[in-house]
Structure 1
Amino acid sequence: MKMKYILIALVFLAAILQACSEQGTAVVDNEAPPAAGGIPLPADVRTITVLNQNGGSHLAHTDAAIVERLLQGMKEAKPSYVSDPEQSGIRYKLILSGSEEKRTFSINDLRYTSADVSVKLYEEVSDGGPAKAWALTSAWGQLLTQLSVDDGPDMIVKSDEDNDSVTLIANRDIDQQSVRLRIESSLMVTSDEPDAAAEYTVSMVDARRVVIHFPNLAQKEVVQFNLKGAKTDDGQPFVTRYFDGSNIATIRQGVAWSGLRWLDTTGAVMREHGFDSALLIEPVRDEEGSEQELLIYNEDKSVYRFQPEQGEIEDITIREWPNDQVKYMSEYGVSTIYSYPDKHDRFFAAQGLQTVYIVDPRDGTKQSIYQSDRPIYGIAASPDGKHVAVLMDTEHIGPDADLVVIDAKGKVVSTFAKAAYINHSEGFHFIYPVRWTDNRTIEVPRVGADMETALYDYKKGFKSNGKSAPLPEDALKLLQSKLGEQDLFIVRALPKPNDEEGRHYAVNVAGAGSYLVDTVDQKVTLLGSGALIKWTSSGQLIVWHSTAGKSVVYIGVD
């Protein structure tokens, strides 16, 4: 239960910080001189009351031992400064109630910012004189707000991409050397330049708070590192939690850009193509019968057919349908999905994720051939274009999907109940991958604890289960060591084609990005922030990358 309340508190705190961040990052300018003398405390303080920024009661400390510790921290507080404007943190009012008088102070909790002070306390000034401020520690702020429940060594990692910094906030004193070692051992940089390095500084603001700055990042450069393995000053490992819900600290520099990038096996960027509004990327067969093309679904409902080897792109969006009603909308914001047979003189589309059409792109003719009574999850045209496989919800918009095969006239040829499965909660409408391996065989996903697939002969039924080849043990250990995590969720792992040495493996890790593992040079290279797309015929890698933190979903069966 304690962990549950920690998470609730963090979510609440994140919302407050987001609101505060909209005011902009403060610049220390026109600073008032540090306050002279100690904090004026009333005599015989018995209660310390904390009010939130709206004046509502946050909590009241009446326990004598806690009151004494808070007062002692205030007696030891160092004079600070008042900036114009002040940095934005979480604001509180502090009321100290003594036997004969009360004193009110303002608190600016800056622990989750990159400020060089963890907590500021201001004396309330009523005569128009200069404001006075004092600096207090993270430990004092934790005791005052009681947002950190002492459940064992715990460290929160918060990235601030406005000023290229990462802040560590812990509930125990931090061993700074262990933090430095983790950064040095796990730091990865992706850049337009191969073998790029990133300068950084590590500032120990106080015993429980560290700020890491990257002052000279180049445009479009991205740095990542992992803090798992950081320790308390008495040698206990911290449980590390990332404020954004990921499992790695990431800082991106430069003008916001999102799209596909091509890299060689040294990590050098060979070329890029921007797709700032992309939501979903799906591999499709080209006219040679191999999955060499991509369908890119965008926020504005447009759909591109993209040939990554040649760099050619075509807008295939159908903007007018006989019935424009959109009955179903996927979680990605996509409501119409497309599929080509090998011969591209026509294609199939599931409009509104309900009605299947055959479309002739030459004259725009659209023929409705099938209407589903349930949400459609995915479609795939057979190579010869004579059939289309449709995955549709089994019940309750849940994880199971029935496989229905129809011919080009809309006649149902076969149905296989609960053929496909992707583990998720009911009520979420996801797009599922599905493909034909030949004119008889259909491959569908079976994704639970393992990433598996199932093969169906559309005439005879189930054939076999398949499973993606696991990442070799030596490559996995190298990746685990670099990312500092043993329990990595590997979304895709693609060995380099025709790699007789078994040297290069491209890997997409959930919540982290895509990496190239070189088992010969014992090296892990960060390729991009998002999905791993494919190896090209020339031995380059295509990955999704964003300097704006934007992600896309790749829905290939493999």
Structure 2
Amino acid sequence: MRTISRLLGICFVFVLLLSACQNDNTPPAVLDSGVFPVMEDIKSITIHDWGTDTVIRTITDQHELDTLAQGLQRAPASSIDDPEPSGQLFKIALSNDSDTAIYQVNDLRLTTDHIVSGKIYLPGTEGQGKAWKVTTQWIRQLLGQEEQTQTAEPLLYTTFSDITNSVVVQANRDMDKDSVTKTLERTLVVAGMPLEELDYTLYWVDDQRFVVEFANMKDDTSIHFRLDDIMSKSGEPFANKEHTFRNQVLLSSRNNNAVSRLKWISQDNELIRSQSWDFSAVLIQPVFPIDKVNEPVTDEKTHAELDAGSLEKLFVYHTNNTLTLIDPASGESTKFDPHLSSEKTKPFANNDYGIGTLMGDRFNEQISYAADANQFIYRVERKNGHHELLYTAPRPIYGIAVSPDLNHVAVLIASDEFVGPEADLIVLDSAGKEIYVQEKAAYISHSDGFLFVYPMQWKNNDTIVVPWIAHGAESFSRGTATIHLKEHTTTKQANPELPEEASQLLEAYTGGPGAATLLRVLPQPGGEQEQNGSYAVQTSESGSWLINTASNRVIWLGPTTLIGWANQNEVIVAQPGKEEFIYNIGIDG
């Protein structure tokens, strides 16, 4: 489609070049001089959409007419390339009291063309058409986009191409070129290859548009930089405090066959290992298998297990509803068969990730628990696949967790038939009998009718942690609710936060204080974060980061999902395939 559009654009240009304008009495000497033959005493300019001939704008204001005419008088001559670059095409009619001349404008501002921002074409005789370069500002003036510039705040506009690995930046003011160069050098980070190996070129097309081309980006490589410190020529900052995402540039170079994968990355930013699958991943769940069937599970052991900070095992849920069990320490993976195949054609039988079976987070060699079709709770005998229905939920299931002794199953179900943000907690014994119910025990803000996975976990045999996110009534946005079953009490607490020193380091790359939304903050495991100052962080805007306050080092891990620490030195992130997303369904806190 892109190629066809390009060819049509080329044809439109040359059809016009072969045609004659109305009352074309321009002297050949003027055409040959290289100066655009501006009509005298212009009374109006009418802009038409090229494809539909719809009138977009008519200009009669004399000041605007004079400004546009002066821009054409200064326009340098250009050539007509083969192939001619294809942008957005307009037909413009310049009229005075006696004549009308028709021209074509090729708006190339949104393309990656780093030679010119636009062209205007003059029809000629015997197929000898002419072309002139026009600037970003001139096109803005022509289309009426310059009218609000004097009252509007300084703004930057970015477009990207993962075909040419280019970033195009436009401004509504003339930019200070030195500030652009310094900003790019200071904030540019890369994931997937060493920064010193990255080759890029900054092309200035005109004072309001530049193109950055990254010539040697490898597959599965991403770049990130900010535009906040760019200044206009008059000294105005382009930093946008209310909409900081406007000044973020994130470009990924991925081949069309790229699949999702897990990456183990060291604190020295070295790729330790990478693992991909035949089917892309959708969800990743931290789990705690109990290796020995009769292994005693004490509260002390469970606390030590959770407080270690590093991952035990991982379930990877794939797009074809299969499961892979991964050992984070070694990367070893095995297929995991849940032995369930309930009818999944009913409403909410598959959640909004396309997954119909959720596994309990604890199991041993003999027994596992699962929520199938987001309604039925089963106990599964793993060796023979026999499964016993324990419970049928009255409303869709948001989450499931198994107690450390494997004797109880907790589920979160929608609090009402609208499947809204509130969830009820139900605790079942080994026979499937309800032994504890707490209404509206968990909360994740979302619109009604969406069945997401709510992460949950038993801290010990008497305590369950559930999510409490964006409720509005708390002093924090992201946090948890800890439910004490024996005491029938609930304690709400915020998720871990970055200390000030680490926040300042991250803010230099994410747009300043408050610009980044922190989804997860994971201190380095082993209780050494106070000495080493290492944190793994995920933001909603740019993905995952490693921060070390002892060395003042910030490493960008790409637009990835943070899974957790594999050990004290390695972080695991999930990199989605092209146009895919991966969600972590573990709980923090």
Q: TM-score range by the shorter chain?
A: 0.7 to 0.9
Match of 1:310 in 2: 330
1:224 corresponding residue in structure 2: 224
8 Å contact kept, 1:516–1:526: yes
Please, which moves more after superposition, 66-75 or 457-466?
457-466
Residues 388, 175 of structure 1: alpha-carbon distance in 2 compared, 3 angstrom cutoff? same
Indicate the residue corresponding to 1:491 in structure 2: 519
CA contact (8 A) 1:35 1:79 kept: no
1:415-447 deviation line (CA, Å, top 9, x unaligned): 211111122333333211111111221100111
The answer for the alignment partner of 1:514 in structure 2 is: 544
Q: Which of 97, 101, 104 lines up with 2:102 in the alignment? A: 104
Distance in 1, Cα, partners of 2:442 & 2:225: 37
Aligned amino acid, residue 263 of structure 2: R
Counting only pairs closer than 5 Å after superposition, residues 322-333 of structure 1 correspond to structure 2 as: 322-328=342-348, 329-333=350-354
CA distance in 2, matches of 1:462, 1:53: 68
**Contact 1:247–1:512 (8 Å) recurs in 2:** no
What secondary structure is seen at the aligned counterpart in 1 of 2:468? strand
Contact map agreement 1:157 1:240 (CA 8 A) in 2: no
Matched, 1:541 2:561: no
Cα distance, 1:21 vs. partner?
7.8
- What is the DSSP-based 3-state SS (H/G/I as helix, E as strand, rest coil) of the residue aligned with 1:433? coil
1:156-167 matches, within 5 Å, as 156-167=157-168
- Kept in 1, the 8 Å contact 2:161–2:167? The answer is yes
Q: Distance in 1 between matches of 2:77 and 2:241?
A: 32
Matches within 5 A, 1:429-468: 429-448=451-470, 449-468=476-495
For 2:342 and 2:353, the matched residues in 1 are separated by 24
Aligned to 1:14: none
Distance 2:577 2:361 in 1: 32
Contact kept, 8 Å, 1:441 with 1:458, in 2: the verdict is: yes
Residue 406 (str. 1) matches residue 436 (str. 2): no
Q: 1:84-109: CA deviations, max 9, x gaps?
A: 22323222222223322222222221
SS at match of 1:528: coil
Work out whether 1:267 is the aligned partner of 2:287: no
Map of 1:5 onto structure 2: none
Q: Which of 85, 91, 94 is 1:93 aligned to?
A: 91
Indicate how the Cα distance of structure 1 residues 324 and 429 shifts in structure 2: closer, same or farther if over 3 A, else same.
Answer: closer
Which region of structure 1 is more displaced relative to structure 2, 391-400 or 442-451? 391-400
Counting matched residue pairs gives: 536
- 1:114 paired residue number: 112
1:477 paired with 2:507, answer: no
Which stretch of the first structure deviates more once superposed, 39-48 or 435-444?
A: 39-48
Instruction: Report percent identity of matched pairs.
Output: 31
Aligned partners of 2:583 and 2:100: how far apart in 1? 57
Amino acid at match of 1:208: Q
* Inter-partner Cα distance in structure 2 for 1:529 and 1:234: 35
Aligned match for 1:416, one of 411, 429, 438: 438
Measured in 2, the distance between the counterparts of 1:241 and 1:217 equals 31
Mean Cα deviation higher: 394-403 or 108-117: 394-403
- For 1:46-445, what aligned pairs fall within 5 Å after superposition? 46-55=43-52, 56-115=54-113, 116-124=115-123, 129-147=127-145, 149-150=148-149, 151-192=152-193, 196-239=196-239, 248-253=248-253, 255=255, 256-275=258-277, 277-287=280-290, 290=305, 291-318=311-338, 321-328=341-348, 329-395=350-416, 396-445=418-467
Output the CA distance in 1 between the equivalents of 2:126 and 2:428. Answer: 80
Quote the offset at 1:322 in angstroms. Answer: 4.1
Q: Is the 8 A contact 2:524 2:568 kept in 1?
A: no
Task: Provide the secondary structure at the position in 2 that maps to 1:437.
Answer: strand
Change (3 A) 1:302 1:44: farther
Which string of whole-angstrom CA distances, capped at 9 and with x for unpartnered residues, describes residues 98-157 of structure 1? 3222222222211122212111222345x5603322111111111222346532100012
Paired amino acid for 1:46: K
Give the whole-Å Cα distance in 2 for the aligned partners of 1:334 and 1:147.
Answer: 46
Structure 2 CA distance for partners of 1:65 and 1:432, relative to 1, 3 Å: same
Go from structure 1 to structure 2 and tell me whether the alpha carbon gap of 1:64 and 1:397 turns closer, same or farther (over 3 Å shift). farther
Distance 2:92 2:395 in 1: 58
Secondary structure of 2:531's aligned partner: coil
Distance in structure 2 (CA, Å) of the matches to 1:429 and 1:523: 39
| Code of the aligned partner of 2:353 | Y
Code of the aligned partner of 2:381: D
Corresponding residue for 2:299?
none
1:310 Cα deviation (Å)? 2.5
Deviation string 1:500-539 (CA, Å, 9 cap, x unpaired) is 5132111112110211112122111112321111112352
Report deviation, 1:479.
Answer: 1.0
1:531-556 Cα deviation digits (max 9, x unpaired): 11111235211112357464311122
Task: Pick closer, same or farther for the CA change 1:478–1:324 going to 2, 3 Å.
Answer: closer
- Aligned residue for 1:501, secondary structure, equals helix
CA distance in 1, matches of 2:512, 2:2: 33
C-alpha displacement of 1:192:
4.9
* SS of residue matched to 1:341: coil
Helix, strand or coil: the match of 1:323? Answer: coil
Partner of 1:9: none
- 2: CA distance, partners of 1:528 / 1:541: 13
| Separation in structure 2 between the aligned mates of residue 549 and residue 176 of structure 1, nearest angstrom | 34
CA spacing shift, 1:392–1:247, aligned 2, 3 Å: farther
SS in 1 for 2:501: helix
Q: Between Structure 1 and Structure 2, whose CA radius of gyration is higher?
A: 2
| Runs of 5+ unmatched residues, structure 1 | 1-18
Per the normalisation by structure 2, the TM-score is: 0.83
Deviations 1:298-326 (A, max 9, x none): 22222222222232223335586243334
Q: Which residue is equivalent to 2:21?
A: none
Deviations, residues 217-236 of structure 1 (Å, cap 9, x unaligned): 34443321111121111111
- Gap change, CA 1:179 and 1:376, over 3 Å in 2: same
- Residue in 2 that maps onto 1:15: none
Separation (CA, whole Å) in 2 of partners of 1:112 and 1:99:
35
Contact 1:156 1:243 in 2 (8 A): no
- 1-structure distance, mates of 2:396, 2:246: 31
Query: 1:364, 1:35 → 2: CA distance?
Result: 85
Q: Alpha carbons of 1:236 and 1:388: their partners in 2 closer, same or farther (altered >3 Å)?
A: same
Q: Closer, same or farther in 2 for the Cα pair 1:171/1:384, shift >3 Å?
A: same
Conserved 8 A contact 2:428-2:436 = yes
How much does 1:175 deviate?
Answer: 1.0
> 1:344: how far off?
4.3
**Contact preservation (8 Å) 2:35, 2:73:** yes
- Per the normalisation by structure 1, the TM-score is 0.88
Asked if structure 1 preserves the Cα contact closer than 8 Å seen for 2:280 and 2:577, the reply is no
Q: Which segment is superposed worse, 497-506 or 141-150? A: 141-150
Q: How has the CA–CA distance of structure 1 residues 332 and 122 changed in structure 2, closer, same or farther, with 3 Å as cutoff? A: farther
On the 8 A contact 1:95/1:102 being kept in 2, the answer is yes
